[in-house]
Structure 1
Amino acid sequence: MSNQLAALMVIDMQRGMSDPAIGERNNPDAENNVQSLLIEWRKAGWPVVHVRHISRTPSSPFWPGQPGAEFQPALVPQPKEHVVEKNIPCAFTNSGLERWLHAREIKRLIITGVSTSNSVEATARTAGNLGFDTYLVADATFTFAKQDYAGTQRSAEEVHAMSLANLKGEYATICITEEVLASIKE
């Protein structure tokens, strides 16, 4: 990574995502890795974008005012950090995010959060398509087990690996927390 201005994106790290009822997930240290990146990003004084999913379904744990819609306590945005609210997977759609980034001449995005196979993948694809130099931090993201189209149950690790494969090279560079932290100190 060069010294080009980069924004750290923290996608959907809300209380509802840590509910065990959601099912099997991978990367149990993802939240700690996101927190490590956030701490160093803040020390450097670089821009942070927090993305929050707000559901359109009243029974959802992500409905406004529900505890599940709140940010996880260790990852709450600071007053000067940008917050994007969305109600579909992609953080760019109908949110003003692209304009906000361009106004600050931010051309590089470091993406973390949940879920790799949904909002993270949708946002990374769009970022790449819009021409942003996009990095997805594999160990600072996680997803959940799910059934594939053929009906085969896939583990969270398999779903995560396929999402990373879908993005690698074409939409984003896949990296790990240690690499990003090392680049901050360069």
Structure 2
Amino acid sequence: MTALVLIDIQKGLEETSFYGTERNNLDAEKNCGKLLRSFRKKQWPIFHVKHNSTNIDSPLYPNKIGNDFRPEVRPLISEPVFEKSVNSAFIGTNLEHSLKVKGITDLVVAGLTIEHCISTSVRMASNLGFNVILVSDATAAFDKIGYDGNRYSAEVIFHSELANLKDEFATIKDTQTLIDELDKSF
């Protein structure tokens, strides 16, 4: 059985001044919404993950408006929400147990950001035995300053992460290809 896992699609990640000066793939949240609508239409399992930062200055700190889900992926009451305070969706939550109890073996993962919670969660999901599809255009990256003091663009970070995750930890697909494939199997 396949489930959709949406990770950290929260308003605070719009605040580029906190995370970096540049972000790629500005349609990531829109594509997450397309995936969500597709899974809802099929009545397939959906799991939401929310980051509660422990840094009081973070836009994702609990009780700040940035901690709220983006409107295009707001969970329904019937869709479970797992709250975490670290990068992995599996640490400090019962997500793994909830997936396994429902007999879920395959995960479609989307959300923000690829260099943090997406990469960590995809790696861990794979290590826990799940088959993972990471939706490339339903995630994004911010630029980073490296250990060497050089600035690495969001595009470089994004494509490096996809290359690192490809095949070993996940199959990489774009939103429309995945939706088309899921429609054929339904």
TM over 0.5: yes
Once the two structures are TM-superposed, the CA of residue 88 in structure 1 deviates from its matched residue by 0.3
Once the two structures are TM-superposed, the CA of residue 144 in structure 1 deviates from its matched residue by 0.2
What corresponds to 1:135 in structure 2?
133
Once the two structures are TM-superposed, the CA of residue 113 in structure 1 deviates from its matched residue by 0.5
What corresponds to 2:98 in structure 1?
100
Q: Supply the distance in 2 between the matched residues of 1:9 and 1:49 (Cα, whole angstroms).
A: 5
Higher mean displacement: 19-28 or 33-42 = 19-28
- The ranges of structure 1 where at least 4 consecutive aligned residues each deviate by more than 6 angstroms after the TM superposition are none
Q: Supply the distance in 2 between the matched residues of 1:111 and 1:89 (Cα, whole angstroms).
A: 14
2:4 maps to which of 3, 8, 15: 8
1:88 maps to which of 72, 86, 89: 86
AA aligned to 2:5 is M
Determine helix, strand or coil for the equivalent of 1:143: coil
Q: Normalising by structure 1, what TM-score?
A: 0.95
Once the two structures are TM-superposed, the CA of residue 135 in structure 1 deviates from its matched residue by 0.7
Once the two structures are TM-superposed, the CA of residue 178 in structure 1 deviates from its matched residue by 1.2
What corresponds to 2:172 in structure 1?
174
What corresponds to 2:24 in structure 1?
26
Q: Supply the distance in 1 between the matched residues of 2:16 and 2:97 (Cα, whole angstroms).
A: 36
AA aligned to 2:6 is V
Higher mean displacement: 59-68 or 99-108 = 59-68
Name the CA shift for 1:17/1:82 in 2 (closer, same or farther; >3 Å). Answer: same
What corresponds to 2:58 in structure 1?
60
2:108 maps to which of 107, 110, 132: 110
AA aligned to 1:95 is T
| Structure 2 spans left out of the alignment, 5+ residues | none
Q: Supply the distance in 1 between the matched residues of 2:26 and 2:56 (Cα, whole angstroms).
A: 29
| Structure 1 spans left out of the alignment, 5+ residues | none
Determine helix, strand or coil for the equivalent of 1:128: helix
Q: Supply the distance in 2 between the matched residues of 1:67 and 1:147 (Cα, whole angstroms).
A: 27
Tell me the alpha carbon deviations over residues 55-98 of structure 1, each in whole angstroms, 9 at most, x when there is no partner: 11223221211101000112110011111100000000120111
2:157 maps to which of 147, 156, 159: 159
Determine helix, strand or coil for the equivalent of 2:107: strand
Q: Normalising by structure 2, what TM-score?
A: 0.95
Percent of pairs with identical residues: 39
AA aligned to 2:106 is R
1:47 maps to which of 45, 48, 59: 45
Aligned-residue Cα RMSD (Å) equals 1.0
Determine helix, strand or coil for the equivalent of 1:31: helix
AA aligned to 2:79 is E
AA aligned to 2:99 is L
AA aligned to 1:34 is C
Once the two structures are TM-superposed, the CA of residue 50 in structure 1 deviates from its matched residue by 0.8
Q: Supply the distance in 1 between the matched residues of 2:161 and 2:93 (Cα, whole angstroms).
A: 23
The number of residues matched between the two structures is: 182
Once the two structures are TM-superposed, the CA of residue 150 in structure 1 deviates from its matched residue by 2.3
Once the two structures are TM-superposed, the CA of residue 120 in structure 1 deviates from its matched residue by 0.2
